[in-house]
Each structure stands twice: as C-alpha cells, then as structure tokens.
Amino acid sequence: TMGNWLVNHWFSAAVLAAWLGINIFLFTYYFLFFDRDERYFYTRAILGSALAWARASAKCLNFNSMLILLPVCRNLLSFLRGTCSCCRRTLRKQLDHNLTFHKLVAYALALLTAVHTIAHLFNLERYNQSQQATDGSLPAVLSKMHLQGSNKWLNPIHSNQTTVEYVAFTTIPGLTGVIITLALILMVTSSTEFIRRNYFELFWYTHHLFLVYFAGLVIHGIAGLVRGQTEQSMAEVPPHHCAEYLTQRDQNCTHDCCEDPEFGSIPAESWKWVLAPIILYVFERILRVWRAQQKVVVTKVVMHPARVLELQMQKKGFCMEVGQYIFVNCSAISPLEWHPFTLTSAPEEDFFSIHIRAAGDWTERLIDTFQLEIPRIEVDGPFGTASEDVFQYEVAMLVGAGIGVTPFASILKSIWYKFQQADQTLKTKKIYFYWLCRDTGAFAWFNDLLASLEQKMAESGKADFLTYRLFLTGWNTSIANNVALHFDTATDTVTGLRHKTIFGRPMWNMEFAAVAAAHPRSVVGVFLCGPEALAKSLRKSCHQHSSLDPRKVKFYFNKENF
C-alpha cells in the first residue's frame, strides 16, 4: 500500500522531493531573472524569451552535473553507511538506491541539455537575423554596435556570411557544446539494461567519456558570448529610458542618452558547481587504486558445469556481510575493467567467494585464463547493505529468480552456520526457499549447495528447517519425457535433489496460503531478488494474506537491490 511504501521509503521520497524542488526553484528563479532583469533588456531585444530558457536550463545543468558523480563514489557511500550504522536500517538501505538516483540525474541532464541546445539554436538564428537586418530596428542597431568599439558589441555574430554551423564548430561554446552533447548521448544510450548485461565493456568504456563531459563543461562558458549591459553603463544610460533614442539618433545630441550602452560577458561559473564533486571523485579513485594494490590470494578454483567458475579468495582485513558485492579486476585481461559480483560465501567462513557465469567477452576470457593458470586478481569492496533482516523473522520466504539466486547462497550458508553455533540472536525457525529458473544447468553449483545443506540438516535432525521448491519455467519435451520416465525415483531427475522440480510458474496464492496455515501466529519476512513484475505479484500476495488481527500471521515484503 502507499502508506507502507512511505514508511519504508520516506528518506528516498524526501531526497526526491528536495532534488525536484531545487531544480524547479533554480529554473523558475533564473528564468524570471533573465526574463525581467534590466541588465538583459537589450539582449532580450534581440533574443526574446529564448535567452531565459537557455540560462535557466544552464543553471539546472550545473546543479545536476554537481550531483551526478556523488552516487557513484562507492567508498563515500560505505563511509556514510558506517557513520549511520546506529541509524534505522531503512535509512541505511536507502543508500543502496544510489544508482537509481544516478540514472534519474542523468535523465534530467539529457532533458535539460535538449532544452539548452534548442534555446541556443533559436538564439543563434535570432543573432543572425538581427545582424543581417537593415530596417533600423532596435535589434539591427544593437547588432551593428561592434563597429563603435571593443566593449560595445552585444551580438557575437559580426558578419553577414556567418552560419549556425560555423558558430557551432569554430567558437569555444559551440564546439564544447557539441562535444559534451555527443558524450552525453553516448553515455546514456550505452547504459541501457540490454547493453550493460550483454556488452558490459561497451558500457564501461563509453561511461568514461564523463571526463570529456566535465572538461567541456568547465570550458563551455569561458568565451562569454551571451552578454548583458554593465552596471556603470546602466547608471549612465538606463535602458528603459534610453532604448528609444538608439533607433532615432540625431547628430546634435542634447538629451541624457547620448552615450552608447556598454556590454560585458556573463562570467563562466560551471567550475564553481563541479569543483568539489570532482575533487571528491579524484580522492575516491585514489582510494580505489590503493585498496586494489592490497594482495588477494586465490585459495581455491572450482570449475562447475555450464561454465561457472567459483573463486575462493582471502585478503587481509576483508570483512563481509551477507548480500554484499565486490568489484573484480584481472589486469591480464584488461587493466581498466572492474566487474561487480555478488559474494556467495558466508561471513562465518574464512574465505570469500564469487561465482562467475560466462556472460560476455570479459567473463569468457577470465574463465579461459583460470583454466590455464591463476592470474593476479584485484578486489575492491565489499559494498552494499547487508541483508541481515532475514535473521529478524521467525519464518522467512526467500524468492530467487535466475541469477538472482546468487545472494541467497550467502544467506542460506550464514543461517546454517548460525544454526550450528546455536546463535541466540537468530530468531529464524523455518525457511521457505523458492527458486524460479529457465535453465538449471547454469546454476548446477547452487544445486550442489542445496544438496549439501539438505544432507547436513538431515544428519543433525533438522531436515524440516529448510523447505525449498524449484520451478523450471523454461523446458522442452525431452526434459518432460525424462521426468515422466523417472517419476518414482527418490531424487529429482533435473537437479538430483530430494525435492522434486516443479514445471511452470508458482501459484503464489497457494504458496502463501500454505505458509499462513502452517504458521498462523508468525511474522513472515518475504525476500525477493528478481524482476519488478515478480515483486509486484509478491507485494500483492503479502497484502492479501496478512491478517488484520495483530495476533495472527503477517507477511512483510522486502525487495533486495543486489
């Protein structure tokens, strides 16, 4: 419900409202300023309202350019997460929405760039028309003022032969504007979900065009092509009083408006907005380089079926929690590329591990390299909020879809260790685990983990602690025939586990009803690592199956952002 959402996401909603509010304020304030201020009376005579559109969008571009780097300063976020460890978990959790905010700011930059560019195209067209006009109108007179002296010019176009293309490619604002717009287009288009999943290298390298973007942004306003009347000139020849005399000059001037107005450039100020975030980001990169230099020892390499590589590693001072992730670099393959992987080990183990599935050039080459030798690996992290909320519920329903099963390896192992050590803080008495998968072959390593947990729990007389249900959503007739032939076997033909694989998608109403019937007075935590459509379905089921009676079953939905 909306109420529940606000309780869990009030901090995100507050940040969003503040960001939106500041953007609206900046745009409105500077739009009205440039649309009404006396200093730009003559500039508006040539450009009209396009001046205000260009300047207001420029202010908002500066503000959002200041913000865009902050959500990707991972070490800064880890520091903030550490300093607010005493805060409520919902507050710390909001820091995991950093990439969502980064994307939001990027979309705002794209929209504002379009507004700014279109406004300036109108401005250039009007500058050009005014320069070519011979009708003695105010814009025509103002455009000829460069002939009166160096400080007199208002229109940057001084020739009738000048074209919009010429200005765009020969002036500093024109050329830098074209370059940073192209850089922004490439960064936005190459960061779609499809490209990030299938061509990570393309996304990785084009995103480093941000260096070009910031360099261009800082230089963009240096030439000061858009000008306004100087303070001194306004005192001598106030525009409202003197503008009419510019178009009707006589030789023997006797009134107060004989002097020509003088103009000055608007100083470049983008650098003031972005200097602090750039310095912060430079420190962030230095810290990453320093951390990456710390030695990582690969203690074990396991090649699982379906080309899944498991790496078990040790690093001095490495301290992880369940549900976190690390960035991995292998300089033998690419010295610049860092790829994120969810940790599959438990904090109780004396190593940390990741499972790497062949999904793209870099992972393919890494797997091939490890089959020949053990190359040098660098690790940055761990990052992300821990998922220890799982341990706060008597009953937990864990739902993993496809690759979303990875973080649950860490959670299931950790729960097992807490169980073994008779951890008094562990409230969990029962776990229901649901795994939805198109093809179990790619996750055979996870089958092995489930099988070993199944065996350990049976040996310690706790076989009923973990109930898991595997749903194969993509299957063909040969699999179905094989299942029909071996229907009476004790273990499953697809996974080799005791619990049978179910073909098709789960009937969530039936699953929730069964859990509610088995635990009529419990608080049940529902955890998902999977797509948004599934989240919507589970959220609805949680709401439907929660009792209004506070003494009876309640389902609480948690979507993890891994």
Instruction: Give per-residue burial for 314-335: e unless 16+ CB within 10 Å, then b.
Output: ebeeeebbbbbbbbbbbeebbe
Is residue 300 in some structural domain? no
- 432-441 pLDDT, tens digit each: 999 888 776 7
Where is pLDDT greater, at 255 or 145? Answer: 145
Is residue 492 in some structural domain? no
Do 231 and 182 fall into the same domain?
yes
Mention every residue, 6+ apart, whose C-beta is less than 8 A from residue 243: 41, 42, 45, 138
Q: Which of 125-134, 230-239, 247-256, 389-398 has the lowest mean pLDDT?
A: 247-256
Please compute the mean of the pLDDT values over residues 213-224 and round it to a whole number.
93
Do 352 and 391 fall into the same domain?
no
Pair 55, 96: CB distance under 8 Å: no
Residue 475 clears pLDDT 60, i.e. is over it: no
Do 333 and 223 fall into the same domain?
no
Question: Given this model, what pLDDT does residue 496 score?
Answer: 46
Do 376 and 398 fall into the same domain?
no
The Cα 306–Cα 447 span in angstroms is 13
C-alpha neighbours within 13 Å on the C-beta side of residue 101: 24
Where is pLDDT greater, at 146 or 36? Answer: 36
Q: Which of 97-101, 330-334, 450-454 has the lowest mean pLDDT?
A: 450-454
Q: What is the percent of the chain where pLDDT is above 70?
A: 89
Question: Given this model, what pLDDT does residue 472 score?
Answer: 84
Could you tell me the pLDDT band of residue 9, with boundaries at 50, 70 and 90? low
Do 509 and 417 fall into the same domain?
yes
Could you tell me the pLDDT band of residue 415, with boundaries at 50, 70 and 90? confident
Residue 482 clears pLDDT 60, i.e. is over it: no
Do 179 and 281 fall into the same domain?
yes
Do 320 and 340 fall into the same domain?
yes
The domain of 218 spans 20-249+257-288
Before 382, cis peptide (omega within 30)?
A: yes
Mean predicted lDDT score pLDDT of the chain = 85
Is residue 478 in some structural domain? no
Question: Given this model, what pLDDT does residue 164 score?
Answer: 79
Where is pLDDT greater, at 555 or 23? Answer: 23
Please compute the mean of the pLDDT values over residues 493-517 and round it to a whole number.
76
Do 233 and 354 fall into the same domain?
no
Is residue 149 in some structural domain? yes
Is residue 457 in some structural domain? no
Is residue 294 in some structural domain? no
Which residue type is seen at 160? N
Q: Which long-range contacts (CB under 8 A, 24 or more apart) does 281-288 make?
A: 281/69, 281/72, 281/73, 284/73, 284/74, 284/75, 284/76, 287/75, 288/74, 288/75, 288/380
Where is pLDDT greater, at 425 or 427? Answer: 427
At 340, which helix (H) or strand (E)?
Answer: strand 339-342
Do 120 and 241 fall into the same domain?
yes
The Cα 385–Cα 390 span in angstroms is 13
Where is pLDDT greater, at 118 or 90? Answer: 118
Is residue 346 in some structural domain? yes
The Cα 471–Cα 475 span in angstroms is 10
Q: Which of 261-275, 277-291, 299-313, 381-395 has the lowest mean pLDDT?
A: 381-395
Do 95 and 209 fall into the same domain?
yes
pTM score, whole prediction: 0.81
Do 164 and 81 fall into the same domain?
yes
Phi-psi region of 466 (alpha: psi -120 to 50; beta: other; left: phi over 0): beta
Do 341 and 437 fall into the same domain?
no
- 56-102 pLDDT, tens digit each: 999 999 999 999 999 999 888 887 777 665 555 666 667 778 888 99
Is residue 389 in some structural domain? yes
The Cα 68–Cα 16 span in angstroms is 14
Q: What is the percent of the chain where pLDDT is above 90?
A: 41
- 286-312 pLDDT, tens digit each: 988 888 888 999 999 999 877 889 999
3-class DSSP assignment, residue 356: strand
Q: CATH number, domain at 534?
A: 3.40.50.80
Ramachandran angles phi, psi of 311, nearest 5°: -115, 125
Number of domains present in the structure of the chain: 3
Residue 367 clears pLDDT 70, i.e. is over it: yes
